Amino acid sequence: MSKYISKKSFFQGNEIKRKPITKNINVVDLVDNYFNAYNSSRLKEGCKLFTEKMLKGNTTVGLSITGALTPAGLGGTCIIPLMKAGFIDWIVTTGANIYHDTHFSIGHKLHSSTPFHDDTVLRKNGIIRIYDIIFDEEVLYSTDKFFREIVKLQEFQKEMGTSELHYLLGKYVYEREKLLKIETPSLLSAAYMYKVPIYTSSPGDSSLGMNIARTAFEGNAIRIDVLSDVNETAAIVLDAKKNRDGSAVIILGGGSPKNFILQTEPQIQEVFGIEEKGHDYFFQITDARPDTGGLSGATPSEAVSWGKIDSNKLPDSVVCYMDTTIALPILTSYAMAKRKPRSLKKLYEKRFEMLEFLKRESLKVKKNF
């Protein structure tokens, strides 16, 4: 016999009303009162999850970034304000987002345009296109040279993880911004100023990695230690789960950075054998379908089967199927309006301390694993 369920229990959501939108409506009012169905409602759920749970207390918030977001200006307009406010504590991104964000910091310009150019004509005129963004090819050559000259310096002549690489690069980008009187920092300089560790899951897969590879080919001693990144990120999450108020992830797009930020829990549980349950909060903005089997579209419930998401916290998981360039500015504005800044965790400075904690916890289970 089926269990009786009260009809009233189905009507827990807000009543949909048709109050006309007024001019100059603020973002909080727009999201809370007018995003009532479909993906606007999922975005509202994500905004509330972020501001009411992820940012509550001392939860550690990680962000993964894919797609060409920084060429569209979203580094400076959205991600940097979130870092400065203490709303983002660590980041996994493609190298391309770091590389292209640096264009602005060394005095170059990118322009909004149209996606309907004749690309053979653009090529003949030395113009690069990222969908409807265009810029002169000299922007690439100048940025390439900038990074190659930096990594030839003595402090780069060693093996290091990408968090250290980005922190050191950020110091020089920060100095260039000061010299050029550029007010809005880049991802690299913000990571340096706010001590937010930034990781690249595939460091060779970008123009930044390509230029580092050239210097190594020419005799530079710089080497990227990707294995240290795997353990550092796992240490950040273990610290969040054991010593703070939990771990939250915001995923922009999908791809390799999504896997890298989520694999921290299998690294803790499956590989180190430490008893854990997965990330506590999950919010993804994506346009990828789940039925093709790709990770970018994989749902939070699928992640539960891997131990990536705590099954008990599955209700605190939201997926919004929307263009990130639309959703992220709304999420950022909503969060800045709803929450006061948090104290910066400065996790970059705590990397070795967290790694030692990971080591101690793993030694407890080593005999039985």
Torsion angles phi and psi, residue 160, rounded to 5: -155, 160
Q: Which of 44, 53, 241, 308 is catalytic?
A: 308
In order, the DSSP letters of 307-348 are: TSB-GGGGGGEEEEES-HHHHHHHHHHHHHHHSPPPPP--GG
Report the amino acid identity of residue 272: F
| Order of strands, sheet of 127-130, starting from the edge strand that comes earlier in the sequence | 111-112, 133-136, 127-130
- Token pair recorded at residue 276: 């854990």
- Token pair recorded at residue 63: 């962000």
**What value, to the nearest 5°, has the Cα angle with vertex 165 and ends 271 and 260?**
30
In 166-238 the beta strands, taken as DSSP E runs, fall at 198-200, 223-224
In eight-state DSSP terms, residue 350 is: G
> Do 94 and 66 contact (CB within 8 A), yes or no?
yes
| Nearest Cα to Cα of residue 88 among 226, 251, 312 | 251
Pairing of strands 133-136, 127-130: antiparallel
Active site includes 124? no
Report the amino acid identity of residue 89: D
Q: Which helix (H) or strand (E) holds 92?
A: strand 90-93
> Do 262 and 76 contact (CB within 8 A), yes or no?
no
Distance CA 215, CA 325 (A): 34
Place of tokens 């967290």: 354
Torsion angles phi and psi, residue 288, rounded to 5: -90, 140
Reduced to 3 states, what is the DSSP secondary structure of residue 59?
coil
Catalytic residue IDs: 308
